[in-house]
C-alpha cells in the first residue's frame, strides 16, 4: 500500500473507467472468446497440438513421454506406452481395436505389444 493515497485514486479511476467502457469490454471479451475457441481447436488438431496433448496426458498419469522414433507420424497414428517412459506410434485403427467394454487393460497391452513387435521389431523394455 502506498501512503500517498494513490491506491485509492487508482481504485476509483479503474472502477469509473470500467463503468464507462462496459459495453466495449463486453464485446471485446465475447469476440476474444470466439477467437480463442477457434484458435484452440485448430491448434489441438494440428500435429504439434496432438503431440503436446499426448505429453500432457502422460504427465497427468505420472508416465514419461519419450518417443522411440524421432519423427512424429501423421494424424492417423496414436501413441502407446511400452513402459512408464517409452511410447511408440501405432496406427489409430489398430490401437483402438481393443478399446471396448469387453477387453481388459492386459489384453490391450498384449495386442499393442504384438503390433509394436511387427512394426518396429525388437523386444519390450520393461
What pLDDT, on a 0 to 100 scale, did the predictor assign at position 126? 47
Q: What's the confidence (pLDDT) of residue 123?
A: 59
Pairing assessment for the beta strands 66-67 and 77-81 based on DSSP bridges: unpaired
Q: Would you state the pLDDT for residue 78?
A: 85
Listed as ranges, residues in the chain with pLDDT below 50 are 126
pTM of structure:
0.52
The dihedral sign for the CA sequence 69, 112, 50, 45: positive
Which pLDDT does position 3 carry in this prediction?
A: 63
Query: Which pLDDT belongs to residue 115?
Result: 87
For 5-19, the pLDDT digits (tens) are 778 888 888 888 888
Amino acid at each position: 500500500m502506498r501512503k500517498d493515497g494513490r491506491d485509492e485514486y487508482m481504485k476509483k479511476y479503474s472502477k469509473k473507467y470500467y463503468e464507462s467502457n462496459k459495453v466495449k469490454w463486453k464485446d471485446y471479451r465475447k469476440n476474444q472468446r470466439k477467437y480463442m475457441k477457434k484458435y484452440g481447436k485448430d491448434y489441438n488438431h494440428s500435429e504439434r497440438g496432438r503431440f503436446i496433448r499426448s505429453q500432457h496426458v502422460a504427465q497427468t498419469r505420472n508416465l514419461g513421454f519419450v518417443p522411440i522414433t524421432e519423427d512424429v507420424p501423421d494424424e492417423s497414428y496414436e501413441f502407446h506406452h511400452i513402459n512408464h517412459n517409452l511410447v511408440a506410434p501405432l496406427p489409430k485403427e489398430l490401437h483402438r481395436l481393443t478399446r471396448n467394454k469387453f477387453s481388459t487393460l492386459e489384453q490391450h497391452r498384449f495386442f499393442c505389444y504384438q503390433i509394436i513387435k511387427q512394426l518396429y521389431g525388437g523386444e519390450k523394455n520393461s
